[in-house]
Amino acid sequence: MKHVIALDVGGTGMKAALVGVDGTLLHEARRATGRERGPEAVVESILAFAADLHALGRERYGQSASAAGVAVPGIVDAENGLAVYAANLGWRDVPLRSMLSERLDGIPVALGHDVRTGGLAEGRIGAGRGADRFLFVPLGTGIAGAIGIAGRIEAGAHGYAGEIGHIVVRPGGPACGCGQHGCLETLASASAVSRAWAAANGDPEADAADCAKAVESGNPKAVAVWSEAVGALADGLVTALTLLDPRTLIIGGGLAEAGETLFTPLRSAVRERVTFQRLPNIVPAALGDTAGCLGAGLLAWDLLATEVSA
C-alpha cells in the first residue's frame, strides 16, 4: 500500500503517522520531544522516530514510504530544508530535510512550519474546505497565522508571512518577546488570558480555561478579562482581514476550545469594527491537534505530485 510518513514536532511532544493516498491515517504514534536533553538529542529523536515509522510501513504494507513530511516550530526555510531557529528546541540552522532523507534511505522529504502546515490541513480537509482564501489563526502559547490561497499556504518572501501575533494592537502595551510592546499575542493568546485571569483572580494556578468557565458563570472579573482579550483579538483580526480579504477565518488553539464563549463575542466584536470590509465566515478549527500531522502528510503527497509533474 502506497503511503507517506508525516511528523509534527512540538516543543514537548511529537505526533507522527503513516498516511495513505486518500489522506487516511493508517498508523498514529506519539513520543516526547525530549528538549531537556538538548538540541542534538532532539534532532536524533526526530530521525529515530521517522526511521521507526519507515521500518513499520515497510513491514506492514510491503513497501517503503514514498516520501515524508515534517512540520517544525520556529523559523523554517522550507525551500532549502533548514530548521533555522526554534527558541523552545534550541536549534539553529539544522539541515533537517537532508538528514531525514539520508536516514530514510533517500526518499524525498518536505519540511514545513508547524502553523502553516496545520493551516494547510485545515484549509484543504478541515474547517476551510472549499474556501479559496482563508486565514488560520491558532490561539495558544502565542498567536500565529497561516494565509491560505487556492489550496496553498503563502510563506512570504522570507518565510515570515502570517505572523499576526506581532501586529501591535495596543501601542505602549505589554512587552513582547519580539522586542515590541502591545503585540496581539501579549493580550489575546491563551497564555495572555491565563496571566490576566491569574492576576485578577489572585490565583497563580488559574488559566484561560478557568477564565472561560468563570465567564460562563457570570463572574464580572472574568468577563472583564475576557472582553479585553476579545477586543484586542478583534482589532488584530480586522487588520488582517483588511489586508488579506479572506473568505473564511479559522480560529484554533487552546482558546478556541471555549467554543461559543469565545466565538459569539468575537464575531460580534469583528462585525462592529468592519466598515467597508467584507465580513468573513469566522469558524472554529476542525482538526484539533492532528492538524499538523495531517498537514505534514499533505506536504509529502504534494512533494510527490510536484516531482511527477516535473
Encode the chain (310 residues) as per-residue pLDDT tens digits: 899 999 999 888 899 999 999 888 899 999 998 888 988 999 999 999 999 999 999 999 999 999 999 999 888 999 899 999 887 788 899 999 999 999 999 999 999 999 999 999 999 999 999 899 999 999 988 899 999 999 899 989 888 899 999 999 999 999 998 899 999 999 999 999 999 999 999 999 999 999 999 999 999 999 999 999 999 999 999 999 999 999 999 999 999 999 999 999 999 999 999 999 999 999 999 999 899 999 999 999 999 998 766 5
Closest CA to 139 of 212, 199, 205: 212
Give the Cα separation of 208 and 164 in Å (integer): 20
| Res 35: pLDDT | 84
Q: What are phi and psi of 140, to 5 degrees?
A: -125, -135
Record the cell numbers describing residue 70, joined without a space: 515534517
Record the cell numbers describing residue 101, joined without a space: 532523507
| Res 289: pLDDT | 87
| Res 106: pLDDT | 95
Q: What are phi and psi of 47, to 5 degrees?
A: -65, -40
C-beta neighbour count of 297 within 10 angstroms: 33
Record the cell numbers describing residue 302, joined without a space: 504534494
* 30 DSSP β-pair partners: 15
Give the Cα separation of 90 and 204 in Å (integer): 28
* DSSP collapsed to 3 states, the chain: CCEEEEEEECCCEEEEEEEECCCCEEEEEEEECCHHHCHHHHHHHHHHHHHHHHHHHHHHHCCCCCCEEEEECCEEECCCCEEEEECCCCEEEECHHHHHHHHCCCCCEEEEEHHHHHHHHHHHHCCCCCCCEEEEEEECCCECCEEEECCEEECCCCCCCCCHHHCECCCCCCECCCCCECECHHHHCHHHHHHHHHHHHCCCCCCHHHHHHHHHCCCHHHHHHHHHHHHHHHHHHHHHHHHHCCCEEEEECHHHHHCHHHHHHHHHHHHHHCCCCCCCEEEECCCHHHHHHHHHHHHHHHHHHHHHHC
* 148 DSSP β-pair partners: 134, 153
Give the Cα separation of 96 and 103 in Å (integer): 10
Residues 80, 81, 86, 92, CA torsion sign: negative
| Res 306: pLDDT | 84
Question: 94 near 86, Cβ under 8 Å?
Answer: no
| Res 309: pLDDT | 64
| Res 310: pLDDT | 55
